[in-house]
A and B are shown apart, each in its own frame.
Chain A
Amino acid sequence: MSERIWDRFLTERDKAVFAAAGFGALAAWGKRPALLIIDVNYAFCDEEPKPILESIKKWRTSCGEDAWDAIPVLQKLIAASRSKGIPVIYTTGTRRADNWDSGSWSWKSSRRGEAPVTEVSNRDGNDIVDEIAPGPQDIVVRKLKPSGFAGTPLQSYLQLLGCDSLIVTGTTTSGCVRATVLDAFSQNFRLTVVEDGCFDRSQASHAINLCDMHAKYANVRPSGEVLDYLEGLDAGMFELPSGQGMTSRIAAE
């Protein structure tokens, strides 16, 4: 992988600094991963692929067509993980109806005061898109803040499953993906970020955040390589949720 997605955003000096400082070495993968899918819901994807400037008129956090480019990648990763009994963990948001708990989220968006999209859509923005709907044995973590770890039971689930590593996908690369990767790194989990399984509404932010994470915190790898890695793992390593009684998608969430 000589040419990386972030190369065209870097100055010559940046490239020289990264090389000289020794960042971006490939770390060990870990032996007991979970697949983590961050916030691939309607608020970030829209109900269908639309040019982003069109899409954000309705869903102001939408990442437009880039989201839908990643979804087939996520489908492959999810299928591979389920076939091996690797834990598949989703995150998505949760909010009181009156939005009081948006807290700090309301400080930096001039469109935060808009009426909820639910008034013009039958989709809840926090619903995970149907194309990658959680299955009965998958796990859904509801969160309020960027990191999947902040104020959630995620850490305890990983401990209970005996995970030593995370394969991270989803959105936004610069926001919730990065925050979750940072917190996992701080807890000494091994990390892989799937380059084509992540997306952002900003192309430059996507590339530079992948660059930063690959330099310091995670192996940023293409999905083909991650699928090969998953293929090499033993099946049935984990005591997953039984899925009993989780007959509907609603129940799974």
Chain B
Amino acid sequence: MTPDRFEDHAWADVVPDDLIQIYAPYRRETFVGPSPALVMIDLYNLAYRGGPVPPVSLIDRYPSSCGLYAHRAIEPTKRLLAAARGAGIPVIYCTSDNRPMAAPSGGGATRRRKASAGERLPDDFEIWSDFAPQEGDIVIRKQRASIFQGTPLVSHLNLLGVRSLIVCGESTSGCVRSSCVDGYSAGLHVSLVEECSFDRHELVHKMNLFDLHHKYCDVMHVDEVVAHLSGSLVQAAAE
């Protein structure tokens, strides 16, 4: 990718020219870093509830669902996951640590009103079946937004010799954003896959991609990342 294409992303239709000018110093080459792992953020059933419809139509029954945005990301995410498995790189998932008595009340990934017991389903936080974890994958249970916060992730990355992350999942503005920023702060190169990330509203999705891309990570198209994983011989970091 050349810097000319640096702004050729989902935010192009909402970001005004003066903002692009202000952010010119962030323009650079984007890439997938060395020894990567694929990180799948919060791709659990709750995000898909109610089917491929606008999330605004789901706010009464499934307020956590990302509706059509979640479903639209399924096919590209399947491609990304297959490419990662083909390349033999580590695949790391996270989901909510909803075990009873795991956290004090008031703790959580966001300040949203908590679902009542009657609104919860037992498989809310199981990984969506299209991306079901396989033997050898890693599933991190987290209590807060970032996959790094209060989890053993860094020790796992060190054990695997991972030096870069390829991130996808939801929500762009919440857990994806905080995980990307923490990954950057931990000294890792982070690539965020645009078509495989989603939120409950396009404007929020686009502006958070814009922020992350310019400051902290490389937002890349799924075609680029899949081509990288399939074309180049990515050495499995784990021996």
Contact = CB atoms under 8 A, between A and B. Distances in A.
Interface in B186-234: 186-188
Nearest to A156: B187
A156 B186 CA distance: 4
Interface string A166-199: 0000000000000000000011110000000000
B187 to A, nearest CB: 3
A250 interface: no
Interface string A157-169: 1111010100000
A187 B156 CA distance: 8
A137 interface: no
Given A162-B163, A164-B161, A155 B186 contact: yes
Interface of A: 155-160, 162, 164, 186-189
B190 to A, nearest CB: 12
Interface residues of B, number: 12
A162 B157 CA distance: 11
Interface centre among B155, B158, B188, by most A CB within 10 Å?
B158
Nearest to B183: A159
B187 A188 contact: no
A164 B158 CA distance: 7
Contacts of A156: 185-187
Contacts of B187: 155-160
A187 B186 CA distance: 13
A189 B158 contact: yes
Contacts of B161: 164
Given A155-B186, A158-B187, A187 B163 contact: no
Interface of B is mostly: helix
A192 to B, nearest CB: 16
Given A159-B163, A164-B161, A186 B186 contact: no
Nearest 10 pairs between A and B by C-beta?
Answer: A159-B187, A160-B187, A156-B187, A188-B158, A188-B159, A188-B155, A187-B155, A156-B186, A187-B158, A159-B186
Given A188-B155, A188-B159, 16 more contacts: A155-B154, A155-B186, A156-B185, A156-B186, A156-B187, A157-B187, A159-B154, A159-B163, A159-B186, A159-B188, A160-B187, A164-B158, A186-B155, A187-B158, A188-B156, A188-B158
Nearest to B34: A162
Contacts of A189: 158
15 contacts: A155-B154, A155-B186, A156-B185, A156-B187, A158-B187, A159-B154, A159-B186, A159-B187, A160-B187, A162-B163, A164-B161, A186-B155, A187-B154, A188-B158, A188-B159
Contacts of A188: 155-156, 158-159
Nearest to B185: A156
Contacts of A164: 158, 161
Contacts of B188: 159
A164 B161 CA distance: 7
Contacts of B157: 159
A34 to B, nearest CB: 13
Nearest to A184: B158
Nearest to A163: B158
Contacts of A186: 155
Contacts of B185: 156
A157 B186 CA distance: 8
A247 B158 CA distance: 34
Contacts of B186: 155-156, 159
B154 to A, nearest CB: 6
Nearest to A190: B158
Interface string B153-172: 01111110101000000000
Nearest to A162: B163
A148 to B, nearest CB: 15
Interface in B43-88: none
Contacts of B154: 155, 159, 187
Contacts of B158: 164, 187-189
A162 B186 CA distance: 12
Contacts of A157: 187
A156 B188 CA distance: 8
A162 B35 CA distance: 10
Nearest to B160: A188
B157 to A, nearest CB: 8
